Amino acid sequence: MTENTLNDLPLLIEPDELEPLLGTPGLLILDLCDEEQYRRAHVPGAVHMEFSRLVRQDPPAMGLLPTEQALEALFSEVGLTPDTHIVAYDNTGGGRAGRLLWTLDVVGHPAYSMLNGGLPAWAEEGHPLERTVNRPRPGHYTVRMAPLPDSRADMAYVQHRLGAEDVCILDARSAAEYRGEDIRAARGGHIPGAVNLDWMQLRDPEAHGRLRPAGELMEMLERIGATPDKEIITHCQTHHRSSLTWVALRALGYQRVRGYDGSWSEWGNDAGVPVER
């Protein structure tokens, strides 16, 4: 296999597609499982990344984008270069891997994929595993972000877009959180006008947790008005669950998709912004 092979990798890569690429120069597989799981078994050649380093906590907002300096340090430690193609996975439903892919998009890194179904699909379908702790060769990766990249929304942006006909705010939390019955902030409820699609509904338990087929996903999204002609702003409590939603939308070909990293931990705790129940 050659580095040129990596240019054609899809956003969602299947285990059968990834296995022949193991060891390809320019491919970096990042494991976002807990470290204990990584040491028990992981995809051969994978490097462990601590998920907590992909979020910045500024209470009450608990899932903010880290600083440029923090991301530079993290990406440099794992050996990321501007030409590296990342394949990310986890064993917790895809939210961690999705958060990494969203972060890479925010910083302008162009080459990334998510292992569909993560470690469960890989392992349960008979692909090889290893226990070796892989130590990357550190480098220096420069992060220079735009004030508000096209794939990110902050509170001010969400407020500005409230009520716009061409926007859909997609709440990836549970229905109980959306309705204000399960309260995880100072206030319960949802952002005015937001529609709800629990992130768990995106996954197919009969297919080792892969994303459901494109036709099923499109039907779900169109039913709630989250159509491709609109800008979609997705959020949850800390933009963990909604990061998988972001990946799913991008994989379906949606062109305008933003992740609101402040999410409900910021919005629900700010008395200055409106809430619906």
Res 7: pLDDT: 86
List C-alpha distances in Å: 222 to 88, 113, 168, 170, 225.
28, 25, 11, 12, 5
Which among 276, 275, 271, 262 is positioned nearest to 55, based on CA atoms? 262
By annotation, the residues acting in catalysis are: 236
Res 3: pLDDT: 53
pTM of this structure: 0.97
Tell me: the pLDDT tens digits for 227-240? 999 999 999 999 99
List, in order, residues 6 or more apart from 122 with CB less than 8 Å away: 15, 18, 43, 89, 115, 129
How many C-beta neighbours within 10 Å does residue 220 have?
15
The residues pairing with 85 across neighbouring beta strands, listed in sequence order, are 27
**Cis peptide upstream of residue 60 (ω within 30 degrees of 0):** yes
Res 1: pLDDT: 47
Tell me: the pLDDT tens digits for 90-113? 999 999 999 999 999 999 999 999
Fold agreement between 3-124 and 152-267: yes
pLDDT tier, 5 (very low <50, low <70, confident <90, very high otherwise)? confident
Write out the two tokens for 197.
Answer: 């699609």
Tell me: the pLDDT tens digits for 179-204? 999 999 999 999 999 999 999 999 99
Tell me: the pLDDT tens digits for 246-267? 999 999 999 999 999 999 999 9
Domain 152-267 - what CATH class?
alpha beta
Tell me: the pLDDT tens digits for 157-179? 999 999 999 999 999 999 999 99
Tell me: the pLDDT tens digits for 66-76? 999 999 999 99
The residues spanned by each domain of the chain are 3-124, 152-267
For tokens 């910021």, the residue is 266
CATH superfamily of 3-124: Rhodanese-like domain (3.40.250.10)
